[in-house]
Amino acid sequence: MMDDILIKHTQLGSIFDYLSVGVIILSPDCKIVSINRSAEFITGHKQTEVVGKYCRDVFLDNLCGGKCAFYETAETDIKSENPDIEFTVQSNETLSITKIVSPLYGPERKILGRIEFFQDHSAFNDLIKRIRYEDRRLKIILDNLDIGVLTVDRGGRVTFFNTTSETITGYTREELLGKPCAKIFGKNSSEELSLFNRTIADGKARSSTKGEIVTQEGQALPIRANYMALKNKEERIVGGLATLSDLSLMYQFNSAIKDRYTFYDMVGKDPAMQKIFEIVPVVAASEATVLIEGPTGTGKDILAKVIHNASSRAGKSLVKVNCAALPDTLLESEMFGYVKGAFTGADRDKPGRFQEADGGTIFLDEIGDFPLSLQAKLLRVLEDREFYPLGSRKTTKVDVRIISATNQGLELLVKEKRFREDLLYRLNVMRLELPPLKERKGDVSLLISHILKRLCATRDTRIDRISEDAMELLLNYDYPGNIRELENILEHALIICQGTVIERRHFPVSIQKGAAGDMLPQENTTDMSKEIGSAEKKMIFTLLKQYGWNRGKTAQALNINRSTLWRKMKKYNILL
């Protein structure tokens, strides 16, 4: 089991090679399990030379500065970060390295070893030392770096914005040049903007390993940033320079590997979603019982994990129970456990899910299917935090937070006498309602970008764009399976697509039939075309209003060019 988990993590190395990030995997006794190609290039050590050796014998003095962070990390169970270190390679050349060390966990959070990520910024740092505010030649070089770079004048107005910054933020340079940089750093009180302003004021370079910016679509994006002052030939400060590295991929890997979802896993600009985003931090910080409602596939389980991981119970277990997946005859013993002799075959005490979640959170999915015969017992846990295990005469006390979810209307179940009214009131202290995807169509393009980024990384695949007619299909489809269906559609397309452009033909035949008039029977073609046209017209009109009739921003949100948007506006008689 341990070897399987370590092997699984070594596969990340090939993915991070694509990002020019070095990865070293260590076993529990600090022996090197693997290093990827980027790590070989940066350190000068071949995998065949170092695998099986103790890490300290190879890297202690140069890469680790004479001190091994693993023991500290393993004992404290906290990720160790050393963002700025100097690393001397075999040729005695000194490199500037950004390094992150983190434990590797197995079942029950048992520490199996560690993983180290590091990236060489030496060439970039050397370039920064030479830069002058008026040097246009260097700005051409900066525009071709794979790291986001922007410069501002002393008033904080953007004077340069490279191509990678456009990719990271979603803004074009035309939209930002001459505008306050607060546009991407969020509120004027944001920590990132404060660091940048202080750097420009006193000339001292600063770094932010866990920063945040706001994309053009209004989505919070995790970044690592460095800030430095720009000086003229007289050494007077004339502005500032910031470098931005997108950490969203790293957060998605942490979510997948550790099952520890954060606010960055919640995507949406729809007002209903923004309202949820605003209240979730408050809900997470409390001990209140939470009820999450929404159709299947809307992300109720992700939201439950976000709430748990943002709460004071994050260090303890989150135990999930699917109430619809367990037969009624087993549910009581699964939930509450049993004692030896409770029934034939009970030859030992067995703790239930509530005991496993003691100190943490229990997530009761599909709570509407919880049998009426056991609802009184669940009610007692909610009220008194105690219950009788099956066959026991002594109560067991637990300290758990309960989060429940349902795709059924519990009030209707109460009317039908299938759910206790007093239990509903106990579960419904804080209610969060996730809307179906068809009611938040403005989020589809944002979700596509978010999901594709993760899928491409995990599959080591590159997709440059989605064709116009393929995007049109995605934007007009109703998604009865919600976000889960959208993810399945995109994964299907990635498997079928052999190039770098996703076409309409790469999607499942079922949705092509449901959205493409040329694949329908002749008598239904006209009606379907009218439906598609009506939905597209509504989408374009809604986004135009949202972006103040700015055609550039609207076209970007629809993932089409401005001329195509103009043709569609003329087609549907949408006038400015």
- Which domains are delineated in the chain? 2-120 (3.30.450.20), 130-246 (3.30.450.20), 259-433 (3.40.50.300), 439-571 (1.10.8.60)
Q: Copy the structure tokens of residue 389.
A: 């295990």
DSSP letter, residue 499: S
Order of strands, edge to edge, in the sheet holding 148-153?
158-161, 148-153, 237-246, 220-231, 206-214
pTM score: 0.58
Helices vs. strands in the chain: H and E counts, helices first? 27, 19
SS3 148: strand
Q: Which of 73, 77, 76 is nearest to 99 (CA)?
A: 73
What integer pLDDT is reported at residue 76 of this predicted model?
41
On average, the pLDDT of the chain sits at 78
Reported as a single tens digit per residue, the pLDDT across 124-168 is 555 555 554 445 556 666 666 778 888 888 888 888 888 888 888
78 pLDDT tier (thresholds 50, 70, 90): very low
pLDDT at 468 over 90: no
* Beta carbons within 8 Å of 573's beta carbon, 6+ residues apart: none
Looking up tokens 């989020």, which residue turns up? 443
What are 24's strand-pairing partners?
A: 35, 116
CA distances from 238 to 152, 228, 241, 546 (A): 9, 11, 10, 37
Reported as a single tens digit per residue, the pLDDT across 541-559 is 778 877 778 877 787 777 6
DSSP letter, residue 390: B
**d(C-alpha 267, C-alpha 451), whole Å:** 10
pLDDT at 100 over 90: no
In the chain, what are the helix, strand and coil shares in percent, each to the nearest 5? Answer: 45, 20, 35
Reported as a single tens digit per residue, the pLDDT across 235-253 is 888 888 898 888 776 665 5
SS3 225: strand
Q: Which of 410, 355, 349 is nearest to 385 (CA)?
A: 355
Cα–chain center distance at 349: 40
Q: Of 120-129, 165-174, 322-331, 540-549, where does mean pLDDT reach its minimum?
A: 120-129
* Beta carbons within 8 Å of 313's beta carbon, 6+ residues apart: 359, 360, 361, 401
Q: What are phi and psi of 241, to 5 degrees?
A: -130, 135
Q: Copy the structure tokens of residue 167.
A: 């990719």
- Contact between 399 and 387 (Cβ < 8 Å): no
The total of other beta-carbon atoms located within 10 Å of residue 216's CB is: 18
Kind and range of the H or E element at 365? strand 361-365
Looking up tokens 């525009």, which residue turns up? 143
**d(C-alpha 255, C-alpha 415), whole Å:** 39
What are 554's strand-pairing partners?
A: none
- Contact between 269 and 219 (Cβ < 8 Å): yes
* Beta carbons within 8 Å of 552's beta carbon, 6+ residues apart: 172, 174, 175, 562
Long-range contacts of 489-495 (CB under 8 A, 24+ apart): 490/448, 490/451, 490/452, 490/455, 491/455, 494/452, 494/455, 494/456, 494/459, 494/461, 494/463
Q: Which of 323, 271, 282, 218 is nearest to 435 (CA)?
A: 271
Report strand pairing: 237-246 vs 148-153. Answer: antiparallel
Reported as a single tens digit per residue, the pLDDT across 398-442 is 999 999 999 888 998 999 898 999 999 999 999 999 999 988 888
**d(C-alpha 118, C-alpha 62), whole Å:** 13
